[in-house]
Structure 1
Amino acid sequence: MGCPPIKYAGDVRKVDGVDPFRHPAVMEWHEYLFTRWSSHRRIALFMPCTAKKPYGSSPTHKIAYAIAGPRVQVYSISEPMLLVPKEFEECYPFNGYDYPPELMTEEEREEFVELLSRALSSASKYHEHMVAVLPSHHRRVLEEASSSAGVDVEIHPYGRLAFRSVKEAALRAEELARG
C-alpha cells in the first residue's frame, strides 16, 4: 500500500501558540481519514503513538505486530494525527512529527476528542470490534471520543506492565479475528 496523498510538505511540531491539529498536512490527513480511508479487516487494535518514529520501532509495537495477524487492523492513536494505520506509519507526516502530549492545551485536547470521535465513527463502519491498549492520557481521550461517537471499544489497561498489557490486548484482537 502506498502513502496517503498528502500534498503539503512541512514540519509538524508542537510549539507555543501553534495548534498542530490545524497544520495543512494534518488537515489533509484528517480529510483523507474521514472520507477515503477504508479497511477490509474486521478487528481494530488501537495502540498509543510513540516518541520514536516510526511507531513500529518501539518495543511495544513490535510485540503487537508480531501477534496481531493480517485480519487485525492496527492503528496508532496520535495527537494530532488521530488514527494512523500501521500501513502508513513510515509515510509523511507520520514518520517525523513531534507533539509531546504534555504540551497539549485544553482547547487542543477538546479538539482531539472531537476529531477522534469522527475518526472512530468512520472506522466503526469497517471494524466489527475494536480493542485498545493505551496509557492514561490516550485512554481518557479515547473513552470520551468513543462515548461521543456511540462506538464501543474494548479498552485494556496499559499499566506499569506495558509489555504484558500489549501482548494480552493483541492476543484478544487476534482471538476476535479468528472467531
Structure 2
Amino acid sequence: MKPIIPEDERSSEPLDNERIIYHPDMVRANEWILNEYEAPFREICIFVPCAKRKPYHESPSHKKFDRIIFGLAKPEDVHIVTFGTCGVAPRELDTQYPFMHYKFMMGKCNVTQIKRDFIKIESERLACYLEKTRDNYGHRIAYCIGDFRTAMEKALEMVDVEVSLVPGESTIRSMLQPEKSFIYNSLSCKEYLQDFSDAIAEALKLPERKVGLREDLSVDDTDWYPL
C-alpha cells in the first residue's frame, strides 16, 4: 500500500506528547482521508475508539470489539473506522504512518485548552467524514464514551446523518464511577458491550445475543479507560 505520507516528507516533530492533535503529519493524514480516500460501500459502519497498542486491530480492546461485531455480522458487510486521538482512521489504514507511530493518549491529557481543541477538531473531522460517506453505509454505530462521544455528538449537530450512539445513556448512568478520574467506567465492561451487541443486531435485523466475558480476554487498552 502506498504510504499516505512518504518517509522523506515526514515532520521531525515528536509524536509522543499532548500536541499530537496539532502535529503536521496527523493533520495531513486526516486531510488525505477526508479529501482523497474512497470509503467502501457496506451495510454498516462501526466507529470505535483508538487504542494504546498499534496497529489498533491487533489491540486487546479491538479484538474484543471484533468478537462482538463478527459474531453477528459478515466481514463483507462491515466497515470499521477508528477515531479519537488519531482523528479518523479507517481500519484498512491503521498500519499506516502516523497512526502506527504516535504514543500519546488523549485520555491522559489534563490540559483544558487541548481537550477543548480536540473536541472541536475531532467533531469537524467526523462531520466531514459522515458527509463524505453519507451514501456509503446503510447503518452507522459509534461505540464511545467520554470526550470521544462528545466529539461525535457535536459532529451529529453539523450533519443530518444518522448514527446510533452506544452504550445507551441509561447504561452509562448506571455504570458511573464518581470516585474515579475517568467516571464513565470502561468500554470493556459487560453492560456496555451488551448495548454494543444489541445495536448491531438491531441494525442487521438479527436476534439479540447475550454477551459473555472471559477475564483473560478482557484487557482494556482503549484511549479512554478507568484510572
Q: Report if TM-score (shorter chain) is over 0.5.
A: yes
How many Å separate the matches in 2 of 1:63 and 1:176? 20
1:134 to 138, 144, 161: 144
What is the SS of the residue equivalent to 1:38? coil
The secondary structure found in structure 1 opposite 2:166 is strand
Aligned residue number for residue 162 of structure 1 = 187
Q: Contact 1:63/1:167 (CA < 8 Å) preserved in 2?
A: no
Aligned-residue offset at 1:6: 1.8
User: 2:5·2:29 contact (CA, 8 Å) conserved in 1?
Assistant: yes
Moved over 6 A (4+): none
Structure 1 equivalent of residue 210 of structure 2: none
- What does residue range 106-145 of structure 1 map to in structure 2 within 5 Å? 106-145=116-155
Deviation per residue, 1:88-110 (Å, 9 max, x gap) = 11221111213322253423432
Aligned to 1:72: 78
Question: Alpha carbons of 1:41 and 1:91: their partners in 2 closer, same or farther (altered >3 Å)?
Answer: same
Q: Please report the TM-score for the alignment, with normalisation by the length of structure 2.
A: 0.65
When residues 147 and 62 of structure 1 are mapped into structure 2, their CA distance, relative to the original with a 3 A threshold, is same
Shift of 1:171: 5.9
Q: Kindly indicate whether the alpha-carbon contact (under 8 Å) linking 1:3 and 1:91 is maintained by their aligned counterparts in 2.
A: no
Percent identity over the alignment?
22
Aligned length: 174
Equivalent pair of 1:13/1:97 in contact (CA under 8 Å): yes
Equivalent residue runs for 1:54-93 within 5 Å: 54-66=55-67, 67-68=69-70, 69-70=74-75, 71-79=77-85, 81-93=86-98
CA–CA distance in structure 2, aligned partners of residues 147 and 169 of structure 1: 22
CA distance in 2, matches of 1:145, 1:162: 21
Assess if the C-alpha contact under 8 Å between 1:64 and 1:170 holds in 2: no
Q: 1:3 to 1:139 in 2, by over 3 A?
A: farther
Counterpart of 1:94 in structure 2 is 99
Long gaps (5+) in structure 2: 176-184, 207-227
- State the partner residue of 2:33: 33
| Partner SS, residue 42 of structure 1 | strand
- Between the aligned partners of 1:161 and 1:26, the Cα distance in structure 2 is 26
Displacement of 1:46: 0.8
Q: 1:46 matched to which residue of 2?
A: 47
Q: CA deviation at 1:156?
A: 0.8
**Residue 4 of structure 2 corresponds to which residue in structure 1?**
5
Aligned to 2:160: 150
Post-superposition offset of 1:139:
0.8
Q: TM-score, normalised by structure 1?
A: 0.80
The whole-number CA distance in structure 2 between the counterparts of 1:172 and 1:132 is 10
Bigger radius of gyration: 2
Give the letter aligned to residue 74 of structure 1: I
